[in-house]
Structure 1
Amino acid sequence: MPSLSVSNLEAHELSEAYPLIRCLAGVETGQWINFAKHLLEQGGGVLAARAEDRRIHGVAGYVVGSNLRYGEVLRIEALVTLEFSHTPLVRDALSAAIDELADRMGCAVVVYNLDARGLFKPGSKRRRALEQLGLFAESVDFVRRLTGPV
């Protein structure tokens, strides 16, 4: 079983995460670097899960934000993993690090903003009603409470 370590990337290391981000979002290098630097400027950052060979196998961009329902939340704005096997080692390592980070930052909730493609049935009444308003499903938030009900 490979050994993984999770740590924050420094600004000069952000380009190392680009190959995974490109697979996730299909953006150019400059778009990724600007986005990640913006996270850093807002007090957030980019977690990277590295294998023993120092290659990055998982990335999670984060920032603390405010949510009407939950108050202060740790928002995960980019999450991508490249697994070694059918066991989600990288995802589990990043998830544990995210939960620890949220706790250190005083957030009881983690909000994952994820791509919504394929998550909703095209024929649903709700989807059609929203699309008639000019809206479309581009992302969806998944929420994990770290403590009891919020």
Structure 2
Amino acid sequence: MLKNFTDLLERVKSIEPRTVSVAVAQDEAVMSAVRDAAKIGFIKPVLVGDGAKIREIGDKIGFTDYELVDCPDEAEAMKTAVELVRNKKADVLMKGIVNTAVYMRGVLNKEYGLRTGNLLSLLAVYELPQYHKLIYCSDSGINVAPDLEQKK
């Protein structure tokens, strides 16, 4: 049982890093999180977005170990980030500072999106000091009223 984020991070260190395509990555908080995940060997980042801004932020926070795909336009960056996953050049799609509506349109796009016919889901993990283990919450924003079969 994973009791806290420290346990989770130890478990993560034992698996192969996943390539993560970050859609519209030019945000300091996003890039700091990606830098930290890359530093522990959890991910190999591909930052998609405004190349000049990404390099500027990367220099500011001491983050240079990433692949960059320069796409200054938000919609084009989203499309490119999704296509990297669809074409198996990345394993995971991560939301940067892209508008949620643009993000979901990219994910669900019939031509280049990530539709598979399977249920799309969101998972959040919380650590509360007053509780003895991590709390997992799924579908707080995507499947707000799943039926029993979807829950399975």
Which bracket does the TM-score occupy, shorter chain normalised?
A: 0.3 to 0.5
Task: Name the TM-score, length of structure 1 as normaliser.
Answer: 0.35
Task: Name the TM-score, length of structure 2 as normaliser.
Answer: 0.35
Return the structure number with greater relative CO, CA threshold 8 A, min gap 6: 2
Structure ranking higher in strand proportion: 1
